[in-house]
Copies of this chain bind each other. A is one copy, B any other.
């Protein structure tokens, strides 16, 4: 069971009174009725999210103005349990595919997969699109693109910079997030100014002292923000996201009290989390080794670029580490989300050189992303079973979110005082909660637009409104292929998973239309023995006989009849609906 709420949380309910329902034009109705949008009026600005609205992930927003396109972020979405075999999900590029030459730039707000993971696939379609981002963001992107054999055209920017890309005049603003060097972007056009926060929070004491630049937000607000796109991820969470530094006591306690080795797992891009781990290890005389490809790679990059400060001699190879006594050892590895192939899962299964044992302490300095709970708990149970003590979000304060909670968002709205608001980055419940917050700070409900992926929002004469929609389905990357899975094939896969498959091979006498020999049954995922299918043979004979009487001789037609007959039999007999694959062969 998840941990129960506790007393202190009662006030938090009160901090966040239940808003009245149903405000805002986008808000209380979905958009099935939307048609293709009319042409964008001269001088207007069009905003279309191809990802990130109605979901957490594959963030991608396309801005159109004066015949040109500016893209902000291009991320991937990770599949749910209802999307088996899918590696990642991309935004649907259909609506911009024939306008790629109009794209003046892709601006990346930060280096997380759900913001940069789709770039390789976009650059496959046009390789010379300028990619704009901060130093660390571009470094993470370039490492990724290298694996795809792509060398991007990059434009490095930093907070305070102002750059024109076609008709889009972009100013970059420092924001604080769970990865360093994140940026918000203010986009000035003749249609008005857009402020897009990207992912952000407002930690007032970040490890790098680089806080979200509310003075810039205020200045832009003074100038006039016509459309405010803001991170909805934690809009439902009352109060304020606490500071990254507040994890120090728990991390420090582990390094101090653990009787033997400490194994820490966290996100491979969370430089500040790892910084705290390194500092605590150093303080208590433990040496550190990085384990796991992405951890080693990213921390190398962060160190080389000066984002990760590593006391000399602290980080060593796992080989050197083995020479030390256990209480001098700390490992930092991947797998905090229970990914089966990652280092930590393999340790939990005793399938790794690091053999977890009695007295080891494992620290999961990470969140439990919804959908990963069971996988994560499997890892925790496995580690515990081998005698390790596991410290995690459920029993210690070892994680804070990277996103602004309701209280922080309210500050932003009151500082920016936007004319129109479009919540981004979130499922419906998050977008809706964020919209409620905007309205409670005084934004006109009719200027709060809740859109979904593909919904066209036009900013014309200073007013944002929904004018239509474009295609924005899921594009599945599966194996080596983009489009390696479709909604239809996933539906089949779920049936196969729940019910199994039965192949029926019937050799039919072309003259009589009757069985030439006993049919063959091959079942997988459907429990059976030699006798299971005997009772269905008369059913098949009857089906063929009826078909013959009615003069149905075509093999494909017979296959359909057989499939239906066998499916009905399986359901009548076992209340199961296996996928039936009929094969009729004329003899």
**Residues of A in contact with B (beta carbons under 8 Å apart):** 1-10, 12-14, 16-22, 27-30, 54, 56, 80-82, 84-85, 233-234, 236-239, 241-242, 246, 249-250, 253-254, 257-260, 357-361, 367-371, 373-374, 377, 380-382, 384-391, 393-397, 399-403, 405, 427-429, 432-433, 478-481, 483-486, 489-490, 492-494, 496-501, 503, 505, 507, 520, 522, 524-527, 574-576, 579, 581, 583, 585
* Top 6 closest pairs, chain A to chain B, by CB: A28-B387, A497-B497, A496-B496, A4-B401, A22-B358, A28-B358
Q: Are B581 and A369 in contact (CB under 8 A)?
A: no
Q: Give the complex CA separation of A254 and B246 in angstroms.
A: 34
Contacts of A494 in B (CB 8 A): 84, 497
Partner of A22, one of B359, B401, B402: B359
Main secondary structure on A side of the interface with B: loop
Q: Are B401 and A3 in contact (CB under 8 A)?
A: yes
Contacts A493-B500, A497-B496 given; indicate if A481 touches B527 (C-beta within 8 A): yes
- Stoichiometry (number of copies): 2
A-B contact pairs, 8 of them (CB 8 A): A16-B395, A21-B389, A81-B374, A381-B427, A478-B527, A496-B500, A501-B581, A581-B581
Partner of A403, one of B1, B16, B357, B400: B1
Q: Give the complex CA separation of A84 and B526 in angstroms.
A: 12
- Shortest Cβ distance from A556 into chain B, in angstroms? 11
Q: Are A387 and B29 in contact (CB under 8 A)?
A: yes
Closest to A3 in B: B237
Partner of A381, one of B393, B397, B429, B585: B429
Contacts A250-B13, A367-B2, A527-B489 given; indicate if A259 touches B21 (C-beta within 8 A): yes
Closest to A350 in B: B30
Q: Are B3 and A234 in contact (CB under 8 A)?
A: yes
Q: Are B385 and A581 in contact (CB under 8 A)?
A: no
Q: Are B10 and A8 in contact (CB under 8 A)?
A: no
Contacts of A242 in B (CB 8 A): 4-7
Q: Give the complex CA separation of A22 and B382 in angstroms.
A: 14
Q: Are A5 and B393 in contact (CB under 8 A)?
A: yes
Q: Give the complex CA separation of A361 and B249 in angstroms.
A: 40
Q: Are B401 and A492 in contact (CB under 8 A)?
A: no
Q: Are B237 and A484 in contact (CB under 8 A)?
A: no
Q: Are B13 and A396 in contact (CB under 8 A)?
A: yes
Contacts of A479 in B (CB 8 A): 574-576
